[in-house]
Amino acid sequence: MGGLEEMKKRNEKKAALLYDFLDNSRLFKGTVVKKDRSLMNVPFITGSEELDKKFVSEAKAAGLENLKGHRTVGGMRASIYNAMPIEGVEALVAFMEEFEKKNI
């Protein structure tokens, strides 16, 4: 897979794609300050528990699995570990863009 340095670059690219969307979204907000952000787990919210549930449900119906946040924290969490290809993050961001358009 290109070694550790290549894996690091891929993970940084995936995280940047998702965080850039969240930082510019009118609906979704990341829940971790920039200096503490993870390359692997990206938690986010809409600000509405009802919309969060709707998002998780519609995402699952669209084939995007395991986005529900931790039971004690709520919201959503995208786990973008090493095995997640960039195409998976791109699909998530595209779905989030559409969801945002329909729900703002």
User: How confident is the model over 47-99, as pLDDT tens digits?
Assistant: 999 999 999 999 999 999 999 998 888 899 999 999 999 999 999 999 999 99
Q: CA 104 to CA 100: how far, in whole Å?
A: 6
What are the tens digits of pLDDT across the range 14-24? 999 999 999 99
Q: Hey, what domains does the chain have and what are their CATH numbers?
A: 3-103 (3.90.1150.10)
- Is the pLDDT at 2 greater than 90? The verdict is no
Task: Label residue 46 by pLDDT band (50, 70, 90).
Answer: very high
pLDDT at 1 over 80: no
Annotate 55-99 with DSSP letters as a single string: HHHHHHHTT----B--TTT-SEEEE--TTS-HHHHHHHHHHHHHH
